[in-house]
Each structure stands twice: as C-alpha cells, then as structure tokens.
C-alpha cells in the first residue's frame, strides 16, 4: 500500500506536507475513498514546526488562548503552536503566557475524559482544539461537548486537514482542505457505502494515528 502514497504540499508552506492514498477505507464513523497520512507533519520536528507556524498565525493577534487540547497525536504541533503564540518578542495577545498542552484519555466506550490534575487547565480557560482531520465532524462534536462539560470555552478549532469550513459556529483553521486534493474526498455512512455495495472490500482501518491493513 505504501507505494501508492503521493505527496501533497501546502500552498501556504511547502514544508507542511501530507501523503494521500486512494482506495476504500473505514474510519470510526464512516467509509472514505482517500486515506490521508499525516505522520510527516506530526512526527518530524521541522515539518511540525512549519505546520504550527501556519496554524498559529490565525490566532496571534485576535485570540486569547490558555490551553491547546490535542487529538490524534498532534502534541508536537501543539507544543510549537504554544511556543509561537506565547513568544515574548512577538506582538501576540498571548505573549508571555504559559500555555497548557494536554490530550484526553478515552474510556472503554470511547468517552473522552480528563484526570483531576488536568481539569484545572480546562475549567474557565480559553481552549483551542487541535485535531488531525475533520471529516464527518463527529470527533469535533464529542471534543467540544467534553470541553464544555469540564467548564472550558472553545475559542478556536484547528486541523491539519478539514473537509468542512466550520463547526459549532467557529471557522476550522486548516492547512489542507478538500480543494487541495487531486480527487474529490468522499465520506459515506457505513450502511450506505457504494464501495461495499459494489463488493469492494475495505483495505484498511484508518484514523488520525495512521492505518492498519485488514
């Protein structure tokens, strides 16, 4: 499968790059026709830093941010974003802040939780939600509900890739969107997938962390 991966570079910054592969894949919430590999921008510090620069630029002058909540293994990008936003030498609303970077745990039923020692970083805080990808919007909805439950205020949503422009009344600030892909990104309900109906087997289970062949 790896031989089918193709590089896609951001028009905003070529060091922010993803790989894509066409096929028939299953996510937690749907079936999709494109797998988006984000390991380069999530794991390699130079690429993560450049990605963080682009995402953080939307908030430097207009968003107070206390905490960044990371989904799908985006902690490296979030740490660089926090450093950029809190830079004392920049004209930033967050200059000099000690921005928290935390990730949720997931219970047996998939419920997001935060331990008592981390809840203070959410309650009454301005929270930026960072996800790897936003496709059906269900992951963002669960995260927003969880942040609300713990008393935080979601002030922004960022994603490496997003098929949507907004969620919960907020713009989704993304490096890549559907227009950046060479083919149309399609997502289907698991019970109404045309690939399944045509007898094409699912090639892999995919999520923000990567893929596992079936």
Which residue blocks in 24-177 are alpha helix, DSSP H? 39-43, 45-56, 75-85, 116-119, 138-149
Mean pLDDT per 10-residue run, the chain (214 residues)?
84 90 91 94 95 94 95 96 90 91 89 95 98 86 95 97 90 93 91 95 89 91
Query: pTM of the entire structure?
Result: 0.90
Locate 209 and state its tokens: 């962390």
pLDDT of residue 1: 61
- CA distances, 26 to each of 52, 126, 156 (Å): 28, 33, 28
């Amino acid at each position: 499968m790896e031989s089918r991966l193709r590089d896609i570079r951001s028009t905003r910054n070529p060091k922010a790059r993803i790989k894509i592969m066409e096929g028939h894949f299953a996510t937690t919430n749907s079936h999709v026709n494109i797998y988006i590999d984000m390991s380069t921008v999530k794991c390699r510090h130079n690429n993560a830093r450049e990605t963080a620069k682009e995402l953080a630029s939307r908030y430097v002058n207009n968003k107070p941010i206390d905490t960044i909540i990371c989904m799908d293994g985006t902690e490296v990008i979030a740490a660089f974003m926090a450093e950029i936003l809190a830079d004392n030498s920049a004209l930033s609303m967050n200059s000099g802040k000690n921005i928290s970077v935390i990730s949720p745990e997931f219970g047996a039923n998939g419920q997001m939780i935060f331990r008592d020692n981390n809840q203070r970083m959410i309650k009454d805080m301005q929270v930026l939600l960072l996800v790897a990808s936003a496709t059906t919007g269900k992951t963002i909805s669960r995260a927003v509900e969880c942040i609300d439950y713990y008393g935080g205020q979601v002030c922004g949503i960022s994603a490496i890739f997003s098929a949507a422009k907004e969620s919960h009344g907020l713009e989704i600030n993304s490096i890549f969107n559907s227009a950046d892909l060479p083919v149309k990104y399609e997502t289907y309900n698991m019970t109404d997938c045309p690939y399944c109906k045509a007898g094409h087997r699912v090639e892999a289970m995919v999520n923000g962390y990567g893929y596992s062949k079936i």
